[in-house]
Amino acid sequence: MQVLQLQWHFKEFFFLTAVGLITFLASALVLWSNVRASQMAAVPTALSSGYMTLLIYIAVSFGYQVYRRSRALKDVPGPECDSVLGLLHLLGKRDMHRVCTEHAEKYGPIFKWRLFTFHAVIITDPVLATQVLRNKAVDKLRFMYSFLDVFLGGTSLLTGPTDEHWKLVRKAVAPAFSQGNMRDALDQVVERTLVLVNFLKVQGATATHNMDNLLLRESMDVIGRFGFQKEMNALQSLSTGNEEEAFNVTALLRSTHEVETRVQEIYRWWKLWKQDVREGWEILGRYRTIVWSLLAHIKSVKPKPGSFADLLLRAKNPKTGQKLPDVQMFPEIAALFFAGIDTTGHTGTFFLYMVSQHPEVEEKLMAELDSLQLRITPQRRHPRKMTYADLNRLTYLQAVIKEVLRMYPPVGIGQIRVAEKHDIVLGGKLHLPAGTIMWVPHHAIQNVSFNWDDHDKFLPERWLVPGTEYAVTEKLPLPREWYTDMETEAVSAAAGPLMSMESIPANMDVTDLAAEDSKRPKRYFPFAEGPRSCVGQSLAKVSLVATMATLMQHFHFSLADEMGGPEGVRASEQYTLVIGLANGMSMHAVPRPGVMDGLSNNGHASC
């Protein structure tokens, strides 16, 4: 991929200068005739002529940029769209992530979309996608994230541009996700999952649960505890009936939903005559109160050293030596809290759903737990405590999680990027003028048939083969000439840019291999790729492995009839900011043999 400095091409320069001059001369003529008619009107007329010149100049140069982008993409395939609105109707689609994947199947690894005057190239070719996401000239399309700023109270680590402030915050909080902290996190996750286990035991095998809601509550409890040393009691409040806590939890869950709904219904903000919109505003107000109280909490309790609350409080601007003021702390806390709840919660839900539909997978999962003495049986009612080392030993469970994240990547719509100040040449062939949106959709890249064998099958086994996340050289989807510039790219591996696992020399050092791995093109990145990848992914991985292992130890999950089978689940899939479900996931949790032994029906130990 080439990054070109913006240059004034002779034709463009000539055209825009001519427009400026003609407008200026026309305005001067008007000015002159007005001045001759009345001396008094000279100043306002001069001002309005100058203003007109400026407006026309801006409009023409904007129009010219739009024309440049549309001309550059004229041979790129894409769906028919309205000449003014473009594909505006797609915004209203509940399953946008799947529409994008269908378009990739239909139009190929590079296709175009247009919304009004915004031109986007959708890239699902692994080589080009990886190049775009790793390139420093390419940054987040800020406009797409700005609607989140209102909710988060300003720009944050998640939504801001890749600038000095982002660097400061990212560097400050990244150590919170170190291995040492993950060891502590494991115990906290298991402890919270056991609260959920007890709740499910008490409800009994025939009860129907919205597992999505319960797992979102668990994620909230984990992040509250891990990051801010604050008990959110989102699960506990189901049993204790503490109204204050229950209200806070509902507000938090509904506020993310409210923001997500606003992404789809872009005019929702102003529909104040609708009761649910007014309630939405109230809910967002409540969310802000909760975040302010979290800020007050971490300032008063002296957070655990090394937690992200502690690191944020200690972060200093290297230039001024000043700590972050509250107005900057607020969005960071809101973002860190918000970014991990829905993503981790919904992934857990899809895990339980997919396992419920694949008994052969469940059988292997249980065998793995058994082989590590972690399975509960009538003979082993109290298995040993899960340790940090077990997380890596649970290779099949990890494979199932990876496959779930492949098929249901929470941030399914992916990474939306732009190079504002540079033209980009993709694969040495496609020249994208500055300002063209480059969109790498995670669901599409991870689910199209040209990137994966058996793309639509749930096959955790594929992850038992090392290197599955990398593109298969022999099967890259574009003609070979698109990849020729790989030779000179930073992204290319030293042993050959298109090296496949099979072609790795036997004598290559494994440490070299790890270094090369970070450069190889990927076809799987649910946690994003490049400098803006997920800072919290180690916590998400520990949470998912520990939560799913603990739940599977205790229960067999089955889909409730009211979901309408797999078709019903598919129909209720919805994409807002993350892939979720319109009405949650109703399931039964049937205790496994041995789990209820010695307990009365209400889940308490009987004498």
- Residue ranges at the known binding site for heme: 534
User: What sign does the dihedral 338-343-349-351 (CA atoms) show?
Assistant: negative
Helix or strand or coil: residue 113? strand
Rule CB under 6 A: say whether 96 interacts with ligand HEM.
no
Question: How would you classify residue 482: left for phi > 0, otherwise alpha for psi between -120 and 50, otherwise beta?
Answer: alpha
DSSP string of 258-310, one letter each residue:
HHHHHHHSTTGGG-TTSHHHHHHHHHHHHHHHHHHHHHHHHHHH-PPTTSHHH
DSSP string of 58-70, one letter each residue:
HHHHHHHHHHHHH
Question: How would you classify residue 597: left for phi > 0, otherwise alpha for psi between -120 and 50, otherwise beta?
Answer: beta
User: What sign does the dihedral 590-594-595-598 (CA atoms) show?
Assistant: positive
Find the shortest distance in angstroms from Cβ 227 to ligand HEM.
6
CB 104 within 8 A of CB 453: no
* Tokens (6 digits) for 296: 């007050």
Stretch 168-187: interaction string toward ligand HEM, x if CB under 6 A: --x-----------------
Chain centroid, CA 153 distance in Å: 19
Rule CB under 6 A: say whether 155 interacts with ligand HEM.
no
Rule CB under 6 A: say whether 303 interacts with ligand HEM.
no
Q: Which of 78, 280, 331, 410 binds ligand HEM (CB under 6 A)?
A: 410
Q: Enumerate residues 527-586 that contact ligand HEM by CB under 6 A.
A: 527-528, 532, 534-536, 539-540
Phi/psi at 551 (5° precision): -65, -40
Find the shortest distance in angstroms from Cβ 179 to ligand HEM.
16
Q: Enumerate residues 116-135 that contact ligand HEM by CB under 6 A.
A: none
Rule CB under 6 A: say whether 526 interacts with ligand HEM.
yes
Residue whose CB is less far from ligand HEM, 49 or 343: 343
Q: Which of 34, 181, 237, 343 binds ligand HEM (CB under 6 A)?
A: 343
Find the shortest distance in angstroms from Cβ 305 to ligand HEM.
18
Residue whose CB is less far from ligand HEM, 114 or 406: 406
Which of the ranges 78-86, 262-270, 280-288, 337-345 carries the binding residues for ligand HEM, by CB under 6 A? 337-345
DSSP 530: S
Rule CB under 6 A: say whether 249 interacts with ligand HEM.
no
Residue whose CB is less far from ligand HEM, 255 or 473: 255
Find the shortest distance in angstroms from Cβ 322 to ligand HEM.
22
Query: 209-210 and 430-432 as β-strands: parallel, antiparallel, unpaired?
Result: unpaired
Which of the ranges 56-64, 258-266, 341-349, 509-517 carries the binding residues for ligand HEM, by CB under 6 A? 341-349
Q: Enumerate residues 463-492 that contact ligand HEM by CB under 6 A.
A: none
Q: Which of 1, 87, 122, 158 binds ligand HEM (CB under 6 A)?
A: 158
Rule CB under 6 A: say whether 215 interacts with ligand HEM.
no
Cα separation, 172 vs 142, whole angstroms: 22
Q: If you search the block for the tokens 């300003």, which residue do you land on? A: 154
Shortest-Cβ-distance residue relative to ligand HEM:
536
Residue whose CB is less far from ligand HEM, 141 or 251: 141
Closest CA to 199 of 231, 240, 229, 232: 240
Q: How many residues of this chain bind ligand HEM (CB under 6 A)?
A: 23
Question: How would you classify residue 550: left for phi > 0, otherwise alpha for psi between -120 and 50, otherwise beta?
Answer: alpha
Q: Enumerate residues 219-248 that contact ligand HEM by CB under 6 A.
A: 223
Rule CB under 6 A: say whether 339 interacts with ligand HEM.
yes
Residue whose CB is less far from ligand HEM, 201 or 417: 417
Residue whose CB is less far from ligand HEM, 158 or 251: 158
Chain centroid, CA 388 distance in Å: 26
Phi/psi at 425 (5° precision): -115, 115
Q: Which of 193, 415, 547, 550 binds ligand HEM (CB under 6 A)?
A: 415
Which of the ranges 57-65, 124-132, 317-325, 409-417 carries the binding residues for ligand HEM, by CB under 6 A? 409-417
Q: Which helix (H) or strand (E) holds 144?
A: helix 142-152
Rule CB under 6 A: say whether 340 interacts with ligand HEM.
yes
**R_g (Cα) of the chain, nearest Å:** 27
Q: Which of 138, 407, 411, 437 binds ligand HEM (CB under 6 A)?
A: 411
Nearest 5 degrees, angle CA 382-CA 385-CA 388? 160
Helices (H) and strands (E) in the chain, counts: 20, 13
Single-letter amino acid code for the residue at 424: I
Neighbouring CB atoms inside 10 A of 239's CB total 12
Residue numbers at the binding site for ligand HEM (CB under 6 A): 157-158, 170, 223, 335-336, 339-340, 343-344, 347, 410-411, 415, 526-528, 532, 534-536, 539-540
